[in-house]
Amino acid sequence: MRSHAILVVDDEALLRWSLRERLTAEGYRVVEAASAGEALERFSGADLVLLDFKLPDSDGISVLRRIKEQAPETLVILMTAYSTIESAVEAMKLGAYHYINKPFNLDEVALLVEKALETIELRREVTALRLTQGAEYSFDAIIGQSAPMQQIKSLLARVAASPASTVLLTGETGTGKDLAAKAVHYNSDRRARAFVNITCSALPEQLLESELFGHERGAFTDARTQKRGLFETADAGTVFLDEIGEMTAALQSKLLRFLEEKTFKRVGGLSDVRVDVRVIAATNRNLEDEVAHNRFREDLFYRLQVMPIRLPALRERKGDVRVLAAYFIDRFNREFKKRVTGLSPAAADLLDSYGWPGNVRELRNAIERAMLLVDRDRLEPEDFTTLTRTVAATQFRLPPEGVNLDDVERQLLVQALDRAGGNQTQAAHLLGLNRDQVRYRIEKFGLGTTS
């Protein structure tokens, strides 16, 4: 920390000398300037600026504004013998770190400088951590060599580089929408700022609104202090709204206003808060159908649809099952301290023949379960007993005259619901689907409101 550079700007030579002697003794590098012009020439490379409010050729507020325009990360402490509340408020609004009155105690200044430079170090550590985390979410970290995945990576790269403020990710459960959202963020010019995410189905409406927009003190029971919401926390960064299709109509309306105007009111608040965030929304639902059934606002759908990206199901990614399996085997070898070399030919064929209704997430779980139990140097079909039963039960042969796929799907759904006694979760398990996919097909075929 002692290698930091500090610029001292004051027209009094004695004051500059006093500060230089004390700060140099603390181990800092000190540069001096006697005027605004000299300050603007010499501040480049300084971590901290001690800036006099009254200068021969200008005032500290003007210099502060110029410094912040050119180097927002540089911290500035204003020094003045002419302190007023108005000037202090203006300085803080422009980004001054602190405001001290002359004459001052050199020990107090040294302590304030130390705290300011600790703030700089913390910011740099956070930025470095985010950049390191970003490497984990590079486009190369998205595993897949199939043509659909190459197209998706290319599209995600273009979206990350674009100024698009809204992105809509669609696709079945387990296709990697959260990974795609992080890849967009960490490969964009927003990567040094926050990436925050929330699952819209995880919280009741009031709590979700408070999480997104924040609330004022006393806005509701237990709101004892003001709270910043995710949109404020992620200013200049990205907010990921997972399962956007589950959001209530009232919150959809508030989200639409925010997307249109870039402003919102905290719960219980009267004034508008303006932020700049990229909103990435994700859903496994067919939002067009949701709009048609009046469960999702049409205007919000079209606002989100500006940059739509559909992530392909694993069954559409020819060849990627084996690539992903090799990746997960290598990962769990390190995690479980094993030396599994890979899949046997029969096991690889088994994984290829399975439909993977849970997509990449289901494949990962299957490999993890097999790796936990295996005591051989490669995985065999018997290590995937659940898949073996499912594949064996679904080896249907297409008759010469062909079939109507919708009729077959409807009949299988009816049989599954009948066997499950109308329980959608159990029927979903029988069909290798999730409950939302079963609900969608119930509506598609007009089978009523079985629960």
Transcribe 96-140 into DSSP letters. Answer: -SEEEESS--HHHHHHHHHHHHHHHHHHHHHHHHHHHHHHHTSGG
Helix (H, G, I), strand (E, B) or coil at 184: helix
Contact 175, 143 (CB under 8 A): no
What pLDDT score does 134 carry?
59
DSSP letter for 141, please.
Answer: G
Q: How far apart are CA 66 and CA 208, in angstroms?
A: 40
- Cα separation, 58 vs 41, whole angstroms: 14
Residue type, 402: G
Tokens of 242: 């997972």
Please give the pLDDT value at position 390: 57
What is the b/e burial string over 54-84, where b = at least 16 CB atoms within 10 angstroms of the residue's CB? ebeeeebbebbeebbeebeebbbbbbbeeee
Distance (Å, whole) CA 101 – CA 78: 8
pLDDT at 257: 95
User: Which among 351, 427, 341 is positioned nearest to 386, based on CA atoms?
Assistant: 351
- Average confidence (pLDDT) per 10 residues, the chain, 451 residues: 81 93 92 93 89 89 89 88 70 84 89 91 76 72 92 95 94 94 93 92 90 89 85 94 95 95 92 94 94 95 94 94 96 95 93 90 95 94 77 58 83 84 82 85 78 44
Return phi, psi of residue 236, to 5°. 75, 5
Rg (CA), the chain: 30
Between CA 207 and CA 228 the distance in angstroms is 13
- Residues 6 or more apart whose CB falls under 8 angstroms from that of 439 comprise 424
Specify the pLDDT at position 398: 66
Q: What is the pLDDT of residue 1?
A: 44
- pLDDT score for 130: 63
